[in-house]
Chain A
Amino acid sequence: MITGRVIGEITATIRHPFFEGKKMLVVARTGADGAETGDYVIAIDAIGVGPGDPVLVLDEGNGARQVVGSSTAPVRSVVVGFLDRVDVV
Chain B
Amino acid sequence: MLLGRVIGRVVPCVVTPGLEGVPMLLLQPLGKDGAPKGKTLVAADPTRMAGEGELVAYEGGREAALLLDPWFVPVDHAVIGIVDALHLPAKERA
Residues of A at the B interface (CB closer than 8 Å) are: 7-16, 19, 24, 26, 28, 38, 40-43, 51-52, 61, 64, 72-77
* Chain A interface helix/strand/loop/mixed: strand
Tell which of A10, A52, A64 touches B85, judged by Cβ atoms closer than 8 Å: A10
Residues of B at the A interface (CB closer than 8 Å) are: 1-3, 31-32, 46-47, 49-50, 57, 59-64, 66-67, 71, 78, 80-91
Residues of B with C-beta under 8 A to A61: 61-63
Residues of B with C-beta under 8 A to A64: 63
Q: Are B63 and A52 in contact (CB-based, < 8 A)?
A: no
A16 to B69, CA, bound (A): 11
Residues of B with C-beta under 8 A to A51: 89-90
